[in-house]
Amino acid sequence: MINSQGTKPAGKKNRLSVRLLVISLVVAAFGFGTVFMLDALDIAPLGIRRADNDLLRLWNESDYDAVLQTANAILEDRPFDGEALTFGGFAEFYTGIEIVEQSVQRDHLSRSIALLRKALHVPRAPLAAERDYVLAKAYYHKGDEYVDLSVRYMERSLENGYVATDSRTYLGLGYARLGQYEASVAWLERAIETAAPEDVNAVRIRAAESYVAISDYESAIRTLRAAVDALDDEFLILMARNQLASVLILDEQFGAAESLLGDTIEQFDESADAYYYLGIVHDETERDVQARALWRTAIAIDPNHTGALQRLANWGN
């Protein structure tokens, strides 16, 4: 058996550790707000008071800097103007989420949250459901300590009738970060059905993690196979294939994992993870010498490969 640090304690080998074998997709999780899950917020003029509204016009032109300037000017004179608070909060979020520098991004997210929370207390402030949707996303990207609020506001947004293509994805990811994997699976299954075509396979990859967390390996394997078959991005293909191999190992389908990893190495011969997982297959099937050789190959490709380094350092312990 393997523990979460990748070491092998004494005793008969049987079930493998979930935490060792599941590929971490933290970067991908943040990608849902920055790369391939940045929904355009569809805003109709319903609820906007002024007939010729500069904020709405600038928003529809995606001129977020101008939206912020206009909103800030309005708020100097009318600190509780519902439209300025709402559109200013929207613009702070969509400006910040595109910024790579985390400290700058967090400043924008904090300002977005402050403006949108203030708008909650303004009677007849427009776009209540859309506001909850953006607020949920801002809380999600601000950090783990705010994920419960992200889930709360996203569910309220859905209850109030605003459904974006990534609403259910954010709920699934949020529940996963809260450790509520059954709820995560339920939402991500729905997200797969409604996600934009360019996003659906990334959602499948994340859903597989939640399936593994509840030991539903059959569903994880089915979902990852669907992603592998449909993907055309080499990076995501490699990631999905290695994750699929890790789940096959968890399910003790060593032959299928070995075949998949062999094919993966033929196509991506610089994948340290593929050699690492193939080493685990050999280790679990009593081919210790070959396992160590494969882990050394993984380290030759990636000298900082934690799993392979730990395996070799703890061999025989």
Contacts of 51 (CB under 8 A, 6+ apart): none
Same-domain status, 158 and 175: no
- Rounded to an integer, the average pLDDT of 207-232 is 95
Same-domain status, 190 and 312: yes
State pLDDT tens for residues 143-171: 999 999 999 999 999 999 999 989 999 99
Same-domain status, 306 and 203: yes
Same-domain status, 284 and 186: yes
Instruction: Kindly report the CATH number assigned to the domain that includes residue 183.
Output: 1.25.40.10
The answer to whether 135 touches 94, Cβ cutoff 8 Å, is: no
DSSP category for residue 145: G
Same-domain status, 188 and 289: yes
pLDDT band, very low/low/confident/very high, at 41 (cuts 50, 70, 90)? low
**Coil vs helix vs strand at 232:** coil
Q: How many domains does the chain have?
A: 2
Same-domain status, 79 and 225: no
Same-domain status, 303 and 190: yes
Same-domain status, 144 and 177: no
Same-domain status, 300 and 261: yes
- Among the three residues 164, 181, 210, which one is the final residue of a domain in this structure? 164
Same-domain status, 75 and 60: yes
Q: Give percent of the chain with pLDDT exceeding 90.
A: 71
Average pLDDT, the chain: 84
State pLDDT tens for residues 63-93: 899 999 999 999 999 999 999 999 999 999 9
- Is it the case that residue 50 has pLDDT exceeding 60? no
Residue 197: what pLDDT?
86
Question: What are the distances in angstroms from CA 249 to CA 3, 8, 16, 276, 296?
Answer: 14, 15, 8, 12, 20
pLDDT band, very low/low/confident/very high, at 46 (cuts 50, 70, 90)? very low
- Among the three residues 117, 136, 164, which one is the final residue of a domain in this structure? 164
Of 19-28, 140-149, 268-277, 278-287, where does mean pLDDT reach its minimum? 19-28
Same-domain status, 143 and 190: no
Residue 59: what pLDDT?
87
19 alpha carbon, distance to own chain's centre: 17
Residue 2: what pLDDT?
34
CA distance linking residue 127 with residue 34, whole number of Å:
23
CA distance linking residue 22 with residue 34, whole number of Å:
23
The answer to whether 224 touches 205, Cβ cutoff 8 Å, is: yes
Range of the domain at 132: 40-164
Q: Could you write out the DSSP letters of every residue in 273-316?
A: HHHHHHHHHHHHTT-HHHHHHHHHHHHHH-TT-HHHHHHHHTTT
- Is it the case that residue 34 has pLDDT exceeding 50? no
Same-domain status, 179 and 156: no
- Among the three residues 107, 139, 164, which one is the final residue of a domain in this structure? 164
Which pair of structure tokens corresponds to residue 122?
A: 């303004």
- Rounded to an integer, the average pLDDT of 184-202 is 91
Q: Which among 298, 231, 239 has a CA at the least distance from the CA of 27?
A: 239
